[in-house]
Chain A
Amino acid sequence: MTQDFTPTEMMTIAAARALTNDDVCFVGIGAPSAACNVARLTHAPDITLIYESGTIGTKPDVLPLSIGDGELCDTALFTVSVPEMFRYWLQGGRITTGFLGGAQIDRFANLNTTVVGPYDTPKVRLPGGGGAPEIASNCGQIYITMALTNRGFVDHLDFITSMGHGEGGNHRARLGMKTKGPTRVITDLCIFEPDPATKELTVVSIHRGVTRGQIEENCGWPVRFAKETVETPVPTETELSVLRDINARTKRAHEAA
Chain B
Amino acid sequence: MAKICTLSEAIEDNVRDGDTLAMEGFTHLIPYAAGHEIIRQGRKDLFLVRMTPDLIYDQLIGVGAARGMKFSWGGNPGVGSLHRFRDAVENQWPRPLAIEEHSHAAMANAYEAGAANLPFAVLRGYIGADLAKVNPNIKSITCPFTGEVLAAVPSIRPDVSIIHAQRADRQGNVLIEGITGVQKEAVLAARRSIVTVEEIVNELNPPSPNAVVLPHWAISAVVHVPGGAFPSYAHGYYPRSNAFYIAWDKIARDRESFTAWIKENVLAGKPEDFARHAVRHAANAA
List residues of A whose CB falls within 8 A of some B CB: 29-30, 52-55, 64-70, 72-73, 79, 81-83, 85-87, 90-91, 110, 114, 119-120, 122-134, 137-138, 159-163, 166, 171-172, 175-177, 253-257
Contacts and interface: CB of A to CB of B under 8 A. Distances in A.
7 contacts: A53-B181, A73-B28, A83-B108, A127-B73, A127-B75, A129-B72, A175-B127
Contacts of B241: 257
Interface stretch (B9-17, B33-41, B84-92, B255-263): B84-92
A86 B178 contact: no
Given A119-B134, A134-B123, A137-B125, 16 more contacts: A52-B104, A68-B27, A68-B179, A81-B180, A82-B180, A86-B104, A91-B125, A110-B128, A128-B72, A128-B101, A129-B129, A134-B124, A134-B126, A137-B124, A255-B243, A256-B243
Interface of B: 26-28, 51-52, 71-75, 77-79, 81-82, 85-86, 89-90, 101, 103-105, 108-109, 111-112, 123-131, 134, 148-149, 178-182, 184-185, 233, 235, 239-243, 245-246
A163 B127 contact: yes
B105 A54 contact: no
B108 A86 contact: yes
A180 to B, nearest CB: 14
A93 B176 CA distance: 28
A161 B239 contact: no
Given A29-B77, A87-B108, A163-B129, A79 B180 contact: yes
A70 B78 contact: no
A135 to B, nearest CB: 9
Nearest to A177: B127
Task: Find the residue from B26, B90, B127, B148 having the highest chain A CB count within 10 A.
Answer: B127
Contact of B130 (A67, A83, A137, A161): A161
A253 B28 CA distance: 17
B124 A138 contact: yes
Contacts, number: 187
B130 A130 contact: no
Contacts of A64: 78
A30 B131 CA distance: 23
A6 B235 CA distance: 37
B129 A130 contact: no
Given A55-B179, A70-B178, A175-B128, A122 B101 contact: no
Given A81-B182, A91-B123, A130-B103, A161 B240 contact: no
Given A53-B28, A87-B109, A125-B86, A160 B130 contact: yes
